[in-house]
Amino acid sequence: MSLHGYRAALAASEERFQLAVSGATAGLWDWNPQSGEVYFSPHFKGIMGYADHELPNEGRAHLDAVHPDDIGRVKQGLDMHLRERRPYDVEYRLRTKSGGFRWVQSRGQALWDDAGEPYRMVGWIMDITDRKRDEQALRVSREELRRLSAHIQRIREEEKARIARELHDDLGQQLTALKMAVTLVEHKGSNRAAPPLSQGDLRGMYAMIDQLIDSVRRIAADLRPVMLDDLGLIPAIEWLASDFSARYQVKVIRHIDVDAIEFNRECRIEVFRMVQEALTNVARHSGATEVVLDIVRRDPHCIVRVVDNGRGAAARDSRPGRHSFGLIGMRERAALLGGEIQIRTTPGSGFELTAILPLAAVEARE
C-alpha cells in the first residue's frame, strides 16, 4: 500500500472510532499505564455528570470519584488484569458532579509489549444504576416475603398450640366435671343408701352442658367468625366494631354502604381480617378516642378506610419492619384481590389506612 493509502485507511479507522465513541451509550476510556495518561470520552464524563471540558483527562479524576467502599475492588481488578491477565469486569459506584453516586459496570482490555509490560488499556463504563436499584428492590421484597412466610408458619404453630390449650383446659375440664356429675347420678340411682336424685342434680348438669356449648361456640368463632358465612361481611364488621368500642372505649363512626356491594366468600374474610388488624393497631398504637370506618362503593373500586384521631406514626414506623407483619399481611391480602393499601400519617395527626379493592374481584362469582 502506498503512503497515501495508509493515511486514508488510518483516517477512515480514526473516523470510525470517533463515530463509535460519540454514539456509544458506554463511556470509553483509553489509558497508558506507563505514563498515566488517559483519555475519557465525552460520554464517560457525561455519566459522571460533567461536560467534556469540566473533567481533566487524568487517571485521578476517575479514581478519586470511586466510592471509598469500592475503590479496593477496582484497584485489585486492574492489578489482576495487568499482572495476571485476568478479565477486567468490575461494578462500582462513581461520585458524580452533583455529589450523588451512580453505579457503573466497567470492562477493559490491556495490550502488553514484548517484554510483557502493559503499555495501553482500553475499556468502557456503562451506567447500571437502574438495574442496581431494581435488584435492590427485588432483594428487599424477597427478604420480606421470606420473613412473612416464616412468620405465617410460626403463627400457624402458635394457633394450633393455643387451640389445643383451650380445648384441653376449657372443654377438657368441663367434660371432666360433667363426667363426675354423671357418675354421681349413677351412684345415686344404684345405691339405695344414697340420697335420692334431685332436680338440682339435673339442673347442674344442664348448666354444665350449656357452658360447654358456649365454649365450643367461642372457640369456633375465634377460628372463623361464623357470622361471616351466615350473615355476611357487614353484620360481622358491625359486630367487630361494637365489640371493639365496648372493649377499648373508642367510638367507631361508620359510613357503610349496606347492600351496595356483594362481597363474595373469599373477599369477606380478607376484608374482615384487614379491618380487624387495622382496629387492633388503633388499640395498640394510636391512643385514639375516635375511629371513622368507611366501606363504600366508588366504581370501579370498593374502598375500605380506617382513620383514627390518635398519635399517628413516623413514615418509617408504618413501613414494614422486622417484626411487624400486620401491615405486610394487609398489603398481601389487598394484593391477592388485585388491590392496594395506602397509608397516610404524620406524627400527632392520626393514622389513615385505605384499602382500594377492584369491585371486579370483590364481587366476582366463585
Ligand X SMILES: Nc1ncnc2c1ncn2[C@@H]1O[C@H](COP(=O)(O)OP(=O)(O)O)[C@@H](O)[C@H]1O
Binding site for ligand X (CB under 6 A): 281-282, 284-286, 308, 310, 312-313, 317-318, 324-327, 351
Footprint of Mg ion on 319-358 (CB under 5 A)? 326
- Binding partner at 282 among ligand X, Mg ion, none, C-beta below 5 to 8 Å by kind: ligand X
Smaller CB separation from Mg ion, 41 or 286: 286
Nearest residue to Mg ion, using CB? 326
Smaller CB separation from ligand X, 105 or 324: 324
On whether the CB atoms of residues 329 and 275 are closer than 8 A, the answer is: no
- Binding partner at 317 among Mg ion, ligand X, none, C-beta below 5 to 8 Å by kind: ligand X
Smaller CB separation from Mg ion, 42 or 326: 326
Phi-psi region of 69 (alpha: psi -120 to 50; beta: other; left: phi over 0): alpha
Closest approach, Cβ 350 to Mg ion, in A, equals: 16
First and final C-alpha spacing in the chain? 81
Cα gap 285→313, rounded to integer Å: 9
Q: Cell 517484554 appears where?
A: 115
Residue 309 interacts with Mg ion (CB under 5 A)?
no
Q: Which of 218, 220, 215, 262 has its CA nearest to residue 361?
A: 262
Smaller CB separation from ligand X, 44 or 325: 325
Which cell numbers hold the place of 250? 373508642
- Binding partner at 312 among ligand X, Mg ion, none, C-beta below 5 to 8 Å by kind: ligand X
Smaller CB separation from ligand X, 88 or 325: 325
Beta 290-298 vs 251-256: how paired, if at all?
Answer: parallel
β-partners of residue 342 are 354
Closest approach, Cβ 286 to ligand X, in A, equals: 4
Query: DSSP strand E in the chain: where?
Result: 27-31, 38-40, 88-95, 101-112, 118-127, 251-256, 290-298, 301-308, 340-345, 351-358
- Binding partner at 108 among Mg ion, ligand X, none, C-beta below 5 to 8 Å by kind: none
Residues 46, 51, 52: CA angle, nearest 5 degrees: 95
Smaller CB separation from Mg ion, 281 or 354: 281
Q: Cell 394457633 appears where?
A: 159
Closest approach, Cβ 240 to ligand X, in A, equals: 16
Smaller CB separation from ligand X, 108 or 310: 310
- Binding partner at 351 among Mg ion, ligand X, none, C-beta below 5 to 8 Å by kind: ligand X
| Secondary-structure percent of the chain, ordered helix, strand, coil, rounded to 5 | 55, 20, 25
- Binding partner at 21 among Mg ion, ligand X, none, C-beta below 5 to 8 Å by kind: none
Task: Tell me the per-residue interface mask from 255 to 284 with Mg ion, x by CB under 5 A, - otherwise.
Answer: --------------------------x---
Binding positions for Mg ion, rule: CB under 5 A: 281, 326
